[in-house]
Amino acid sequence: MKIKLISKDKPIHSNFSFSNNGFSLSLLEKINSGVQVEVDRVPKSAWKYVEEVKKVKKVKTKGDK
């Protein structure tokens, strides 16, 4: 799933593990910079800092090519 930081005013300070391989400082830094990041899992207590990025499916209309 893809996640992003809800607010740059509230960066993640805890050592949450978003990967099945364990803690990754580079992944945490990417999240805190505001970049959308692909993660394996999100700890329950981290949901107050991040939100899931949903894919929006574009619907074609008659005028679109």
Residue 18 has pLDDT above 70, yes or no: yes
**pLDDT tier at 31, thresholds 50, 70, 90:** very high
Kindly report the pTM of this predicted structure.
0.77
Q: What is the mean pLDDT of residues 60-64?
A: 74
Spell out the domain ranges in the chain.
2-52
Q: Which pLDDT score is estimated for 58? A: 77
**What is d(CA 17, CA 53) in angstroms, rounded to the nearest whole number?**
18
**pLDDT tier at 65, thresholds 50, 70, 90:** low
The full DSSP string for the chain is: -EEEES-TTS---S----STT---HHHHHHHHTT--EE-S---GGGTTTEEE-PPPPPPP-TT--
**What is d(CA 60, CA 65) in angstroms, rounded to the nearest whole number?**
8
**What is d(CA 65, CA 61) in angstroms, rounded to the nearest whole number?**
8
